[in-house]
Amino acid sequence: MPSLLAFDTSGERIHVGVSARGGVWLAEDAGGAQASASLLPCVRRLLREAGVGLRQLDAIAFGRGPGAFTGLRAACSAAQGLAWGAGLPVLPIDTLVAVAEDARVRVGAVDVWVAMDARMGELYAARYCWSGGGWITLVPPALVAPDRLHAQFLAHPAPWLVGSAPLGEQLHHPSATVDADARPSARALLACAEAAWARGEAISATAALPLYLRNKVAFTTAERMATAGSAA
């Protein structure tokens, strides 16, 4: 098995994992606005616990998104910097696939819609199916409104709906089991990274890019006031 460092900073928590010398080390820390400050100290701490240096690794994997703009930028730049300095390739990992893998390992979900909260009343969503040898993308990651995802789910139903999205009445479907705890955990990231390594998907650090699905990252003051007025 390859020796890997993997991390994701796309959400409110950062997830970091190291797989080396036949062992696995996992960590979780504050993300969101603190991702840039907490990621590298967490990486250094976990490498010390594992007893390996960066140059002893085969590759560095990072959650490329979709997710929060600052988090994706932090993960990609950290992966590029660490990999470039150590002369390693990188493995960009689809964050929503990692969420699907987390659900598969924890609750046995193998045919899923993943829906993660994108804020601003929208969701990051994708559809995946486990083939026995890996995940197949049936509907690629997209930024969608809840009613659009509901329509897609009705057109292409799956037994599971997983992820951190607010899965309320608008997304409810009696045929689906909901796993709102699914996340891009460190263990799931490492599993996805090992599969990507086996498929030969390692690339140069200079070619690594985050997956941005949104150009607009916040409402304007006028939009916030209009939304508040509508709610009132």
Give the chain's domain count: 2
Residue 143 lies in a domain: yes
ω into 66 cis (within 30 of 0) = yes
- Report residue 51 as tokens: 């007893």
- Residues 101 and 169 reside in one and the same domain: yes
Amino acid at 163: G
Verify that 147 and 34 share a domain, yes or no: no
- Answer whether residue 217 shows pLDDT above 50: no
In angstroms, the CA 96 to CA 99 distance is: 5
Tell me: the pLDDT tens digits for 174-192? 778 889 999 999 999 999 9
Residue 170 — pLDDT band, cuts 50, 70, 90?
low
Q: Is residue 65 part of a domain?
A: yes
Integer Cα distance of 125 and 214 in angstroms: 13
Q: Do 144 and 40 lie in a common domain?
A: no
Quick check: is 120 in a domain? yes
Choose the final residue of a domain: 164, 179, 194. Answer: 179
Same domain membership, residue 171 and residue 198: no
For strand 177-179 and strand 160-162, is the pairing parallel, antiparallel, or unpaired? Answer: parallel
Q: Are residues 12 and 38 in the same domain?
A: yes
Give the domain extent around 103: 96-179
Residue 225 lies in a domain: no
**Distance (Å, rounded) from C-alpha 21 to C-alpha 143?**
39
Say yes or no: 102 and 59 in one domain.
Answer: no
pLDDT for res 121: 85
Tell me the C-alpha distance between 53 and 49, whole Å.
10
d(CA 14, CA 35): 7
| 53 located within any domain | yes
* Joined tokens for residue 84: 């470039």
CATH of the domain at 143: 3.30.420.40
Does 90 lie in the same domain as 188?
yes
**Do 50 and 78 fall into the same domain?**
yes
CB atoms within 10 A of CB 38: 18
Judged by average pLDDT, the poorest of 44-48, 128-132, 228-232 is: 228-232
Residue 81 has pLDDT above 90, yes or no: yes
